[in-house]
Structure 1
Amino acid sequence: MANPETPLPQVFETEAAQTFVEEGHGGTVEHAEPELLGLVPFQWVSLAMLVLILIAIFGAKVHKTIAGGLDAKIATIREQLDEARKLREEAEALRAEYAAKIANAEKDAASMIENAQVEADSIIAKAESDTAAMIARREKMAGEKIAAAERLAIDHLRARAADASTAAAAALIAEKHDAAADAALADKVISEL
């Protein structure tokens, strides 16, 4: 620690400014302020703040307009997604309904096969005294009858499914797509190009 009675040396004290004056170069030393395009630094700061404030005032309106447009687009997309979700749920319900009908048709076909087998067995038991040709002919007729009934049931089910799908698709297209929608869609595509 330094003694409080001894003076500290002056490290930063120089005699350059005094020497400069004494050597005859003029009066006091003047420092030049930096300038750019005739403006000093505090004027540049003021100008920058003015530009920032103008951007904040007028730029906010543009931002609100852009945000409003984006919000409208987001709402439209959400509506379309909701509609697509509803259509998907309806399609899944129809698929489940027709899967149940097909399963029922398969059960009916299985029961028909069982009934036919029982009938064939009873015919065989009844016709033991008859010739082997008669037994073969009856089994063949029963098999063809079952196959025809299966084909008829499956064809009928397929026809009903196709009719229902066609009607639902036509109703959806007619409901959602009219001449005004065609014109709006065409105008939208043209404007995007």
Structure 2
Amino acid sequence: MDATAQATWWIFAALIMFLALLGYLGVHKMLAKALDSRADRIRNELDEARELREEAQGVLAELQRKRREAEEEAEQIVAAAKREAESIRKEASEKSHEYVERRTASAEQKIAQAETDAISAVRNRAIEIATAAARRVIAESVGPEKQQQIIDESLSTIRTKLH
């Protein structure tokens, strides 16, 4: 045998003894146990990840349900606010219409009262002017004693007709 073959044979023999020693020491069992342990750990992590995913989906579904409820509640609030605003607008319109009607009626009453007052003032002034003119005419045409009697009779006639 040449030296290369002999070295190869010794390397092969050393490898076989090394493998036998590893087998004797139970390294293959430790490797299998480590691999099994790792596989169990990975399986547990996958199960845990699956559970977390299912829990996250449940939380997501719950959040989506709450979001929908919040949107519905917001729509109801907006609708109620619109109804309330329309009610307030109608009420304000009615109150302003009533206010205008009251102010118009009040103005018409004031105008009617002013007309009545003006007519009364003109009538009183006309009576005063007529009385003064009658006094002058009577004073010029009759004597002083007859004059007072005619004035008193005229005033009593006018007062009777006015009341």
Larger CA Rg, structure 1 vs 2: 2
**TM (normalized to structure 1)?**
0.43
User: What's the TM-score once normalised by structure 2's chain length?
Assistant: 0.50
Question: Larger % of helix: which?
Answer: 2
